[in-house]
């Protein structure tokens, strides 16, 4: 019996040591790998006390908890940098001209922390980590925003996050037909394309002309997602609707059943448009009838053979592939889908670039610059600020370059507050940065990131990544995901607010866990209550508390017997604030 208890004791100690070691690795404080692409890098290994291996200060310093100077942005060729500056200046000039025409005053530029938070929310779906803030603070202030933007554009978090956003508007948010559709592989393929910074038109061309098996050629999933509605073959009707909305910003779905009687769809010559006809939709769909399923070879290109019975007709007729406008840009030679891809991505097909820029603008601001991001009528101009960006995109087709132009513009960098009364017209004309409610995945991503000192990325421990993945998925399921309608302006519901107040995710993220959570680190290592409060504010709101806030919470915390519980309450309070759940 004695031997049994000795054995149990030994294994208990071994299990405890393994748990401590695993918890240490899970905290994400190990030295990052050398192949990081784009995020803030730690200058040295960081221990739980905030020190480096070679020095142990008398008290932990949360100001250097990240231990992280940031990557300096790579030097761009001067000609490229100058051309970006020229385009940005044209965007700003168009904005100023518009504001003057409407008699609107512009808000001053926001501080660098607010601008960096906007970039992070737009590009990686969460706020800025304390590690990144401390690293940026080590740089001159005039370099912080540009450095953060460069780091984000090289960050795998950006590739993964935008790949998911693109996946939604290209193939939708649903999982699609079982076996023949691999949404995850499709998303990973898009992430790799973004990481390689492939021109946008080449990506779209690959999607339209995709051939092979959906397992080994991920782009084929653009076609196979429609198999369930066409007896195991790509559905030309759904593909035509998706192509027009996602790649051309045109809503022509109603033409599937009848001509446009309400004047909502104008096609033909972009200068002298005509009403949309039922034939326009089905002639576009006819291109995709050349995509055939060929057993184990997957999708192959054959002859286009499309038939349809039009409204008020007694029998089906053969439909010849044709485009709904700018027919002179359609090649005469080649197979049907290759011709379509050439026409869609043609440099003179300005609608393709208009749709791309409008989509990127919406992703950056959290709202569309037009009535709807997928409804850009041929005969209606875009807001004047977007036209110089479209001109540049026609020439370069470079996603990162376009993001740089938008992020460096006065519209993106403007404050949301001003000395004057801000009206809806100020927001509509981008005299101020428009207030937008964070999407569900941004709220969840920001909560999880705020619970950690270091940035959560591919270098984080497997446990931290799994916790993030599970927490966000559970939150989205309960909170509600808008799916493809990402830019809906609907307000938060009472059940959603109650989930924020009472949900497990927020409670677990703010728990006083000294190994996994920021509140535990702060409680252990903050020099005083003032620094603890300051650090909580930086983690959650990405700003320092003002004097009134600092004094109030210092007094409140001083009255509490348990500082740890007070920090948990402060984390919960800030995460439930309107400021946290809105982009501003």
Domain stops at, among 329, 344, 359: 344
Confidence of residue 156 (pLDDT cuts 50, 70, 90): very high
Q: What is the CATH number of the domain that holds 570?
A: 1.10.3130
Question: CB–CB of 430/385 below 8 Å?
Answer: yes
DSSP H or E stretch at residue 260: none
Instruction: Say which DSSP state 266 is in.
Output: E
In a domain, 387, yes or no: no
pLDDT value of residue 348: 95
Angle at which helices 386-396 and 350-365 pack, to 10 degrees?
A: 120
**Secondary structure tally for the chain: helices H, strands E:** 25, 8
- Predicted confidence (pLDDT) at residue 496 exceeds the cutoff of 60: yes
User: DSSP string of 454-482?
Assistant: S--STTS-HHHHHHHHHHHHHHHHHH---
Q: How many domains does the chain have?
A: 2
pLDDT value of residue 24: 42
Shared domain check, 441 and 318: no
Exposure string for 483-504, b = 16+ CB within 10 A, e = fewer: ebebbeeeebeeebeebbeebe
pLDDT value of residue 56: 31
DSSP H or E stretch at residue 555: helix 547-559
Residue-range definition of the domain harbouring residue 450: 436-583
In a domain, 78, yes or no: no
Q: What share of the chain is helix, strand, coil (3-state, %, to 5)?
A: 55, 5, 40
Greater model confidence, 505 or 23: 505
Shared domain check, 334 and 465: no
- pLDDT (mean) for 195-217: 95
Exposure string for 329-358, b = 16+ CB within 10 A, e = fewer: ebeeeebbbbbbbbbbbbeebbbbbbbbbb
Report the C-alpha gap between 584 and 578 in whole angstroms: 10
User: DSSP string of 279-346?
Assistant: HHHHHHHHHHTTEEE-GGG-EEE----EEE--TT-SS-EEE----SB-GGGS-SSS-HHHHHHHHHT-
In a domain, 558, yes or no: yes
Question: In terms of Cα–Cα distance, which of 93, 101, 246, 253 is closest to 165?
Answer: 246
In a domain, 267, yes or no: yes
pLDDT value of residue 53: 36
pLDDT value of residue 12: 61
In a domain, 498, yes or no: yes
Domain stops at, among 344, 369, 401: 344
Q: What is the CA radius of gyration of the chain?
A: 27
Confidence of residue 63 (pLDDT cuts 50, 70, 90): low
Average of per-residue pLDDT values in the chain: 83
Domain stops at, among 323, 344, 365: 344
In a domain, 396, yes or no: no
Question: In terms of Cα–Cα distance, which of 234, 331, 359 is closest to 286?
Answer: 234
Cα 63 to Cα 207, 512, 554: the distances in Å are 47, 20, 18
Report the C-alpha gap between 528 and 62 in whole angstroms: 11
Shared domain check, 565 and 441: yes
In a domain, 2, yes or no: no
Token pair for 138: 């080590």
* Confidence (pTM): 0.85
Structure confidence by residue, pLDDT tens digits, 253-272? 888 888 877 777 888 777 77
Q: Following CA atoms 158, 360, 150, 106 in sequence, which dihedral angle do they give, to the nearest 10 degrees? A: -130
In a domain, 560, yes or no: yes
Token pair for 113: 């922390």
Shared domain check, 567 and 464: yes
- pLDDT (mean) for 327-355: 95
């Amino acid at each position: 019996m004695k031997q049994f208890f000795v054995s149990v004791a030994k294994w208990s100690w071994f299990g405890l040591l393994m748990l401590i070691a695993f918890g240490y690795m899970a905290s994400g404080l190990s030295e990052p790998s050398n192949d990081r692409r784009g995020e803030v890098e730690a200058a040295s290994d960081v221990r739980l006390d905030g020190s480096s291996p070679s020095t142990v200060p008398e008290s932990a310093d949360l100001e250097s908890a990240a231990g992280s100077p940031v990557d300096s942005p790579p030097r761009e060729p001067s000609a490229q940098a100058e051309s970006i500056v020229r385009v940005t200046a044209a965007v700003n000039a168009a904005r100023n001209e518009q504001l003057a025409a409407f008699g609107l005053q512009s808000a001053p530029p926001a501080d660098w922390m607010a601008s960096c938070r906007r970039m992070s929310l737009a590009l990686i779906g969460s706020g800025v980590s304390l590690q990144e803030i401390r690293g940026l603070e080590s740089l001159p202030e005039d370099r912080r925003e540009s450095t953060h933007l460069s780091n984000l554009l090289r960050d795998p978090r950006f590739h993964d996050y935008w790949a998911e956003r693109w996946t939604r508007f290209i193939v939708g948010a649903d999982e699609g037909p079982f076996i023949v559709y691999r949404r995850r592989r499709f998303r990973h393929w898009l992430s790799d394309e973004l990481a390689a910074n492939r021109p946008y038109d080449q990506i779209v061309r690959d999607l339209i002309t995709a051939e092979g098996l959906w397992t080994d050629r991920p782009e084929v999933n653009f076609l196979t997602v429609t198999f369930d509605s066409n007896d195991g073959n790509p559905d030309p009707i759904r593909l035509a609707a998706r192509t027009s909305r996602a790649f051309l910003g045109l809503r022509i779905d109603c033409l599937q059943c009848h001509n446009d009687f309400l004047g909502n769809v104008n096609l033909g010559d972009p200068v002298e448009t005509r009403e949309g006809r039922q034939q326009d939709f089905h002639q576009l769909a006819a291109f995709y009838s050349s995509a055939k399923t060929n057993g184990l070879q997957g999708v192959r290109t054959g002859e286009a053979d499309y038939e349809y019975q039009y409204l008020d007709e007694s029998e089906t007729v053969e439909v010849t592939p044709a485009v709904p406008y700018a027919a002179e840009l359609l090649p005469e030679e080649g197979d049907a889908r290759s011709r379509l891809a050439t026409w869609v991505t043609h440099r003179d097909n300005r609608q393709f670039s208009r749709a791309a820029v409008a989509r990127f603008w919406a992703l950056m601001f959290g709202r569309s610059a037009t009535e709807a991001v997928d409804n850009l009528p041929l005969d209606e101009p875009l807001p004047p600020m977007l036209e110089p960006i479209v001109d540049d995109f026609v020439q370069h087709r470079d996603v990162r370059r376009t993001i740089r132009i938008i992020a460096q513009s006065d519209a993106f960098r403007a404050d949301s507050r001003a000395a004057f009364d801000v009206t809806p017209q100020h927001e509509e004309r981008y005299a101020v940065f428009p207030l937008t409610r964070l999407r569900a995945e941004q709220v969840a991503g920001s909560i999880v990131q705020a619970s950690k000192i270091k940035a959560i990325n591919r270098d984080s421990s497997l446990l931290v990544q799994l916790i993030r993945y599970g927490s966000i998925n559970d939150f989205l399921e309960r909170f509600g995901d808008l799916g493809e309608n990402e830019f809906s302006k609907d307000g938060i519901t009472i059940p959603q607010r109650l989930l924020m107040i009472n949900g497990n995710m927020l409670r677990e993220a703010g728990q006083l866990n000294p190994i996994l959570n920021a509140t535990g680190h702060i409680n252990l290592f903050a020099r005083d209550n003032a620094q603890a409060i300051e650090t909580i504010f930086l983690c959650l709101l990405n700003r320092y508390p003002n004097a009134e806030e600092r004094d109030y919470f210092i007094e409140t915390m001083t009255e509490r017997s348990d500082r740890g519980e007070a920090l948990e309450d402060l984390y919960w309070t800030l995460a439930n604030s309107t400021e946290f759940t809105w982009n501003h």
